A and B are shown apart, each in its own frame.
Chain A
């Protein structure tokens, strides 16, 4: 069976759009982002947590997301990532790119025929 979770190339290229799409909905912390990717893809896409955080830092460094610490009494403080206006533009562009790519791929390989 094809398992995208093992396909690192595919994962690496789609990681940015995955993160941006999730934090565009609402601010989320790193653990939640990892969990959501896994649950929404039905377990097909999983991230090694040790590489998720560097990814978040890298995207933050580009200015597409920004992280803020939130503290609540009696709880460990946690870092929430929110999308920036520039990140929204990137997300829109990436969505278009992937949609077009998937459609084009479908034209060639006909996902539903088999």
Chain B
């Protein structure tokens, strides 16, 4: 088989030589035969003639030889393609419209697929990525504490290595100023577990990461090396100041390696043991209850993922026994790395697949559209097909020719689509998410994407070409040539192309419904009460720890900053916190009820916490429902007070009279008194269910990461700039980041919704464009074919209404049927749409009505021109054309 393929290929590649050899062989044969005949006494001239006659038809011989070499089908194909190109050149308008709609359909699919490829299919650029897994706790958070990590690393039997890392910012000094850069804190074995080699210098290893604070080493990412050091190879061994202290640059990571997250572009890696200095004021290497590391492990050779899971869970069970309050219910599983394990992986995959399905629908619409156009053309080309069949082309041959035409169109569309996808991928890669984190995707059109586009192109070509081609090849040459074919065709109740238009309208309905849903969802999420008031509020963040402040200096800085900010004209309230709701930085802590229920696992609850200053609730615009907030006179030495939200009161205080009741941070810790209750808000995402939240006074439990919040009468963006200025006057060397209006910050929370709305709106617009052109084509075609009939109708007295009825009734029916089918499909595919758009259901009558109204508009627009043409038919000209 392989040999034959090779021989065919060789013959094709050396086509001229093959033909030349073949001719030589005949010539030799004829000469040998002639000389034999001459030797037998035949006259030379006669001998040559006889040799030729004996040999037979030269052309037949050549065909047979080509056939034997396996290149004839390819010759036929070439001829078919040449013919198809000629035919299409004769209908340039059709060719352009067809190519364009296919390019958009295939391009959309290729682009969405390249996103899926980048986020789901493409393995990490590490050695044997199939052996590497994230070790993730059950539940939605993929994190472990350092002491737990150490135990899992040292006690397991099944992993060749288990590393831990954490995404962390530092203040990196550049000249006189400091820049906040994001990178990784990673355990010493990190690079060895992943199997990465540096391009410059060396990486750190286990031996470099043994004791806290003794290994001030930094590994730069390739991009950072290029940007900051111009790619100089002398960089290894030099020093850079991180959070005000000198670190030695020991190496540079290879290009393309961005750690184990697919969406994150780190600037550096620092050994985990430097944590107390990288995150000053918050040492957690010894705190078993601080779950903030992601674990990534490589399986030992010959060990399966499930064996490793069993092994790790045996250790998890020991850890639960040893530390029941901290590790209650710990279950571990191995997940694909890249998106914080399954934490983002699940939703991202679901979203990507749903969008891919919608892109598929767009392509289907384009195919239905083209199939309709081709069917119309096919019925016009019956005569041509009949002639070809009459002169001996078989049905298969005609079918192949028609299919070749659609494949030529599909290929043109596919190439244009791949170019569009490549441009789109470049745009997406260059795009930076509107957040402080360096979020960036690496989306490229690689071999897999091209293969996908090729398969999609061929499938599309077959899909839109097959039906019309079958139809045409089934025609009866006799009746077609006599001119009967077309009338018989017209008499069929529901010609193929009508069915196709209905299908197209139905697909369009589904896509437009999705688009309407997304826009409504976005609108609703913007208008839903957030539980705080983003209007007129501005924020600015500083990391005092990175700048080398200790707690006392930090407290003094914050007091001065609030005092100065309060004095800025127009400011109503100034406050601060460790973080604000719906920002990317959300922290959790565990709480227990005041009186244990006897079941530690049920008592232990993870809640979001904020460390807040007095008047924080005023500044952010959250209503205090009961009790009071904190004040500046809070005694830092009398801990044990908290404000909680409604859900906390309901779930953890369990309906006890809220103000004055208690809870604890550790099962045996001191009781904490609730002094106030605030309204619920959205904290992590706009679509989350109500979350229990506790607010702790920052004066009592300091945190060096500080977000200042100011509510003022001035425009929030202007205020944010003013805040940056004020903070800089207090300490010019302190990097201020995320200075923006609270509204701008919400861009992050709104981002998934916005992405969905943009994607769906694009698909919806595409579908509308396709449906409009499809309907327009159908009605124009009907009017053109029926010009004669319309002429007669007008001649015998038909009015405008009758003419329009004759032309448009069928279209109206098709629209109606398509819309009903589409509405049904939209209702059935509600779950698919719900993965993309939350809060809005496709069962919503508003959605269905809006979609239907839009389709009526589409119908009107697409029929307008042909209907006018029908009305302008002059009976005299129409009858004369006959």
Contacts and interface: CB of A to CB of B under 8 A. Distances in A.
Given A50-B57, A61-B3, A79 B21 contact: yes
Contacts of B56: 48-50
Interface residues of A, number: 22
B751 interface: no
A49 B29 contact: yes
A54 B65 contact: yes
A51 B33 CA distance: 16
B880 interface: no
Interface in B42-58: 54-57
| Best-buried of B21, B22, B54, B68 by chain A (most CB within 10 Å) | B68
Interface string A14-40: 000000000000000111000100000
Contacts of A79: 21, 24-25, 28
B632 interface: no
Nearest to B22: A53
Nearest to A86: B3
Residue in A50, A76, A78 whose Cβ sees the most chain B Cβ within 10 Å: A50
A54 B27 CA distance: 15
B54 A29 contact: no
Contacts of B68: 54-55, 57-58, 61
Interface residues of B, number: 28
Given A50-B64, A61-B69, A76 B31 contact: yes
Contacts of A99: none
B67 interface: yes
B344 interface: no
A50 B69 contact: no
Contacts of B57: 50
Contacts of B301: none
A63 B8 CA distance: 13
Contacts of A49: 29, 33, 54-56
B83 interface: no
Q: Is the interface of B mostly helix, strand, loop or mixed?
A: helix
Contacts of A35: 36
Interface in A42-86: 48-51, 53-55, 57-58, 60-63, 69, 76-79
Interface string B17-38: 0000110111111011100100
A79 B23 CA distance: 12
A76 B28 contact: yes
Interface string B63-103: 01101111000000000000000000000000000000000
Central interface residue in A49, A55, A62, A63, by most chain B CB within 10 Å:
A49
A31 B67 contact: no
A43 to B, nearest CB: 14
B431 interface: no
B3 A62 contact: yes
B61 interface: yes
Contacts, number: 63
A50 B3 contact: no
Contacts of A51: 64
Contacts of A54: 61, 64-65, 67-68
A57 B67 CA distance: 9
B653 to A, nearest CB: 85
Interface of A is mostly: helix
Contacts of A63: 3
A63 B1 CA distance: 11
Contacts of A78: 25, 28
Contacts of B36: 35
B24 A50 contact: no
Contact of B60 (A50, A58, A61): A50
B7 to A, nearest CB: 5
Contact of B25 (A30, A58, A62): A30
B52 to A, nearest CB: 11
A57 to B, nearest CB: 4
B482 interface: no
Contacts of B21: 69, 79
B491 interface: no
B4 interface: yes
Contact of A50 (B28, B61, B70): B61
B32 A50 contact: no
For B4, B29, B56, B67, which residue has the most chain A Cβ atoms within 10 angstroms?
Answer: B29
Q: Which of B7, B28, B31 has the most CB of A within 10 A?
A: B28
Contact of A76 (B24, B33, B69): B24
B15 to A, nearest CB: 15
A22 to B, nearest CB: 16
A20 B27 CA distance: 24
B69 A31 contact: no
B32 A31 contact: yes
Contacts of B25: 30, 53, 78-79
A79 B31 CA distance: 14
A55 B237 CA distance: 74
B207 to A, nearest CB: 60
Nearest to A77: B24
B28 A61 contact: no
Given A48-B56, A49-B56, A57 B24 contact: no
A51 B63 CA distance: 11
Nearest to A52: B29
A58 B56 CA distance: 20
A92 B31 CA distance: 34
The 6 A-B pairs of least Cβ separation, nearest first, read A57-B68, A54-B64, A54-B68, A50-B61, A50-B56, A58-B68
14 contacts: A30-B25, A30-B29, A49-B54, A50-B61, A53-B25, A53-B29, A53-B64, A53-B65, A58-B68, A61-B69, A62-B3, A62-B4, A77-B28, A79-B25
Interface of A: 29-31, 35, 48-51, 53-55, 57-58, 60-63, 69, 76-79
Interface of B: 3-4, 7-8, 21-22, 24-29, 31-33, 36, 54-57, 60-61, 64-65, 67-70
Given A49-B55, A53-B29, A79-B24, 17 more contacts: A29-B28, A30-B25, A30-B29, A31-B28, A35-B36, A49-B33, A49-B54, A50-B61, A53-B65, A55-B68, A61-B4, A62-B3, A69-B21, A76-B28, A77-B24, A77-B28, A78-B28
